[in-house]
Amino acid sequence: MSWLDVLAAALRERPTTPADLAAVLGVAAAELHGPLEQLAEMRLLNVIGDELVYRRPDFAAADALQHTLDEGVRSLQESVQRSKELIADLPELLSSWTNGRESPSLPLDVIEGPWALADMWRLQSSRNAPRSADLCIPATGVLRAAGLEYAETFWAARAGDEHRVRVILSDEDARAPENQWHIDNELATGTLIRVHPRPPSFFWIIDDDIVALPQIWGDPDPTTVVGARTSALATVLHWAFESLWTQSRPVRTDEHAWDPMLRLLSRGMTVEAAAQTLGLSPRTGRRRIDEAMRYFGASSQFTLGAAWTARNDPDTGSRA
């Protein structure tokens, strides 16, 4: 019997002693010695005297991560693997914790259905305008399938002019033609986007204490998504995100903030129309053009267009 099975049952039923836990699982008490020792070592569940002592899974995960990383270089690979496994198991453990209490101290949002990801984002971001967000998106197909309204809402992770949004995409999705409009839109509004060869799972962190992840870690098309407000778990997922971020590369190695605007102007749009297409205010659109004119030393939009086009290959004036 695995430690995860034992922990999930304990959180769900809340037996007070190892003997009671054995009865819940329908096994002999001796069979729990190994799993309980492992759980105590991981600081997820402890036995003091003959009493089981519980910890909230997100606090335990954060503490377990800190404890394992503190073991040093000697056991670093083992520690990182354990932390990854714990993150993958968190949705089930969080649900078990909540189901095991009449008045849960960790309220969860659980959304089911084909548009669960987009609906969870709409729910969490509508409660408070996000000031910051880190999103790992291994597959954009599920967002496109949700419809343009959902896709725009999901990608437009902005809160006025003061925001910091980082997105990790897969190589395949970063190259997909159908995603270029979204990528251009986000880059134009200041979103930082990097590309990773194999993002492990959907997940995001909003404002350092709001998290969401699929019920099954790594599910490429999740239909059940779990969300919670927990700074402890957000710290753990930030660690996972930062690790992926350092392994990723910028989606546009030579892209400037004004490039999406100039790309649309080169197709005959006005500054106002281009700004509206990109979801920018006219003032921001004009500021992008002014920055480009200073960069290229252009005296007019005509000479700016000529200089910008000359920088690109003739066939890639609209580098999508």
Q: Report the CATH number that the domain containing residue 193 is assigned in CATH.
A: 3.30.870.10
State which of 59, 77, 99 marks the end of a domain.
99
Same domain assignment for residues 138 and 189 = yes
- Both tokens assigned to 114: 């084909």
pLDDT at 100: 57
Count of C-beta atoms within a 10 Å radius of residue 243: 14
Same domain assignment for residues 147 and 210 = yes
Same domain assignment for residues 90 and 112 = no
Same domain assignment for residues 155 and 212 = yes
**Residue 171 CB partners (closer than 8 Å, separation 6+):** 195, 196, 197
State which of 73, 99, 125 marks the end of a domain.
99
Same domain assignment for residues 202 and 266 = no
User: CA–CA distance from 131 to each of 117, 128, 147, 185, 305 (Å)?
Assistant: 20, 9, 25, 18, 34
Instruction: Give the whole-number percent of the chain exceeding pLDDT 90.
Output: 12
Same domain assignment for residues 63 and 175 = no
* Interval 78-114: pLDDT, tens: 544 555 555 556 666 666 655 655 545 556 788 999 8
Same domain assignment for residues 124 and 146 = yes
User: Domain with 263 in it: what CATH number?
Assistant: 1.10.10.10
Same domain assignment for residues 142 and 237 = yes
Q: Give how far the C-alpha of residue 183 lies from the chain's centroid of Cα atoms, to the nearest Å.
A: 17
Same domain assignment for residues 116 and 160 = yes
End-to-end Cα spacing for the chain? 52
Contact between 206 and 130 (Cβ < 8 Å): yes
Q: Which residues of 109-142 are buried (b: 16+ CB within 10 A; e: fewer)?
A: bbbeeebbbbbbbeebbeeeebeebbbbbbbbeb
* Interval 204-262: pLDDT, tens: 999 888 999 888 888 888 999 988 888 878 888 888 888 888 788 888 766 677 877 88
Beta strands 164-170 and 132-137, pairing class: parallel
pLDDT at 43: 76
Same domain assignment for residues 212 and 150 = yes
Domain count, the chain: 3
* CA separation for the pair 200, 212 (Å, rounded): 14
Domain that holds residue 269: 259-316
DSSP string, 169-207: EEHHHHH-GGGHHHHHHHHHTT-EEEEESS----EEEET
Mean pLDDT over the full length of the chain: 77
Same domain assignment for residues 243 and 272 = no
Q: Tell whether the model's pLDDT for residue 72 goes beyond 80.
A: no
* CA separation for the pair 222, 133 (Å, rounded): 20
* CA separation for the pair 184, 319 (Å, rounded): 10
State which of 198, 223, 250 marks the end of a domain.
250
pLDDT at 318: 39
- Select the highest-mean-pLDDT range: 18-22, 39-43, 246-250, 271-275: 18-22
pLDDT at 204: 93
pTM of this structure: 0.54
Same domain assignment for residues 246 and 268 = no
Q: Tell whether the model's pLDDT for residue 47 goes beyond 60.
A: yes
